[in-house]
Amino acid sequence: MKAEEIQKYYADNAAARWLALASICLVSLSNSLTMSSTNVAIPKIAEDLAADAVLISWVPTAFLLSNVVAILPAGRLADIHGRKRIYLTGTVVFTLASLIASQAPSIEWLLFTRVLQGLGSAMSFATGLAIVMSVFGVANRGMALGFANAAVYVGMSCGPLLGGWFTQTFGWRTIFMFPVPLTLLAIILFLTRIKGDWKSETPDKVDWQGSLILLCSASALFLGVSLLPSLAGLLSLSAGLCGMGLFVFQQLASPHPLIRFRAIQENRVFSRSLLASTCTYASNFPLVFLLSLYLQFIKGLSPAQAGQLMMLQAVTMAVVAPFAGRLSDRFEPRVIATTGCLIMSGALLVLQHVDLDTSLTVIGAALMTMGLGFGLFTSPNNNAALGSVDRARLSIASALLSLSRLLGNMTGSAGILLLVSLVIGNVELAPSQYPALLTVIRWTLSASCIYSLGGAWFSYTRGNVRSGSTTG
């Protein structure tokens, strides 16, 4: 089908549009569930596979690292070979890797499959939002993006609860199997009901040299953060930062860069949207981990009870995000997204004052407020960002948005690792350590509040999308 025929087909066929969105939501949910649920099963995996502390620590890291490294080349490949093709390939790779992971006989095999899962996840995340933008018209694009964003966040938030239940009831191997039916359904929908493909008529080549530099730099950064505050960690972190500087220099000199820094800088709406996304995800990522520790260790809740309380944020976000996206189709996205960041800042301001006697009602209300703010931010921010780029570059733009989310998560995770190492140290969380845990929570959520305010500033100063203004 030609580009005009594809556009007309989806403009006239609402069922095809929503089936495409359903497939993307299913894959996004599966990827996010797998990424977040694995952490709960790590102790059981270590016991069953006789893995040492160093190897077992790479179970979540291998997935995230391969995701970060592959997402930009995947976006470029999608512009060259077609978004649907790369999306389906990534989904198939993720599904097969999940099945193999569920039968892994050793920790080495499991780590290999985690790398494959990350590669497949990168290919689908790099193209999913771009397909949504290609399939839906301007009138409904924000709402569609809202559903896609909600699927990601629900998966990230519900993963620990479902992962704990599956691990406890059926064993850790099932956490790699339960998303497989969802991805298989998504593949069937795309193969049978989704017509055509989308690619750039003037695609750039893939910058494999830049990809290699990014791989080495990101690996050094991950390793350095995991080893802090030791000398080896500092050296590795320094090498990673130097490598990232080399990556930027190489990208500026490359004729076909993975990231066109100058073009991004010139597109104020897109660049500020990326920065707002990074800040906002950095502010939110530590919350689930830290409050899970607080609720179970300090408040004495069971994992199931803590998970149920934590889901208040996910449920609120999932309800709000599609409506926020719909609002961004009609009103200025920066107003809605900025309001969401400010609401998140208020909730974080409350949560950073938690102590031994803080009411669960207060925590639940703050979590719902966080969900409201996050739901108001994500869809309008993505709508503004992707709406500001040329349709031929939607895949790489979608990949950059996903990368900004990953970088935000990495930033929040790095802050937690550093503070836990400095304040608590390598000891078990006994009651004598609870004051130190509260200190970590307060400092981390104070930093999260600052990140959220930074997201509000970047969101507001991107300018008005509809009027074409780029002034704050």
Query: Helix 394-419 and helix 268-293: axis angle, to 10°?
Result: 40
CA count, 13 A, side-chain hemisphere, 198:
25
DSSP string, 211-267: HHHHHHHHHHHHHHHHHTTSHHHHHHHHHHHHHHHHHHHHHHH-SS-SS-HHHHHH-
Tell me the per-residue pLDDT of 362-402, one tens digit each, with 9 for 90 and over. Answer: 999 999 999 999 989 988 888 888 888 776 677 677 778 87
Please report the pLDDT score of residue 361 as a whole number. Answer: 92
pLDDT band for position 449 (50/70/90)?
very high
Please report the pLDDT score of residue 89 as a whole number. Answer: 93
For domain 260-462, give the CATH number: 1.20.1250.20
Please report the pLDDT score of residue 172 as a whole number. Answer: 85
Task: Classify residue 426 by burial, with Cβ atoms within 10 Å: 0-12, 13-18, 19+.
Answer: exposed
DSSP 29: H
Q: At CA 17, angle to CA 16 and CA 20, rounded to 5? A: 85
Tell me the per-residue pLDDT of 325-376, one tens digit each, with 9 for 90 and over. Answer: 888 878 888 899 999 999 999 999 999 888 888 899 999 999 999 999 998 9
Q: Does residue 468 surpass a pLDDT of 60?
A: no
Record the tokens describing residue 3, joined without a space.
Answer: 């580009």
- What is the spatial distance between Cα 218 and Cα 14, in angstroms, rounded to a whole number? 41
Question: Once rounded to an integer, what is the mean pLDDT over residues 409-436?
Answer: 73
For domain 1-205, give the CATH number: 1.20.1250.20
Q: Does residue 197 surpass a pLDDT of 80?
A: no
Q: Does residue 254 surpass a pLDDT of 50?
A: yes
Tell me the per-residue pLDDT of 269-322, one tens digit each, with 9 for 90 and over. Answer: 888 999 999 999 889 878 877 787 788 778 887 766 776 787 788 788 878 888
The model carries a pTM of: 0.75
Q: Does residue 94 surpass a pLDDT of 90?
A: yes
Please report the pLDDT score of residue 202 as a whole number. Answer: 63
**Residues 325/142, Cβ–Cβ less than 8 Å:** yes
CA-nearest of 472, 441, 388, 418 to 233 is 418
Using CA atoms, how far residue 149 sits from 25, 155, 465, in Å, is: 8, 10, 20
Record the tokens describing residue 230, joined without a space.
Answer: 């030791």
Mean pLDDT, the chain, rounded, equals 82
- What is the spatial distance between Cα 364 and Cα 316, in angstroms, rounded to a whole number? 11
Please report the pLDDT score of residue 373 as a whole number. Answer: 94
Please report the pLDDT score of residue 229 as a whole number. Answer: 67
Q: At CA 233, angle to CA 227 and CA 238, rounded to 5? A: 145
Using CA atoms, how far residue 317 sits from 20, 36, 118, 264, in Å, is: 22, 17, 25, 29
Compute φ and ψ for 361, nearest 5 degrees.
Answer: -65, -40
pLDDT band for position 204 (50/70/90)?
low
Task: Classify residue 403 by burial, with Cβ atoms within 10 Å: 0-12, 13-18, 19+.
Answer: buried
Tell me the per-residue pLDDT of 10-65, one tens digit each, with 9 for 90 and over. Answer: 777 778 888 888 989 999 899 888 877 886 677 678 778 887 655 666 777 788 77
DSSP string, 331-371: S-HHHHHHHHHHHHHHHHHHHTT--TT--HHHHHHHHHHHH
Question: Once rounded to an integer, what is the mean pLDDT over residues 4-11?
Answer: 74
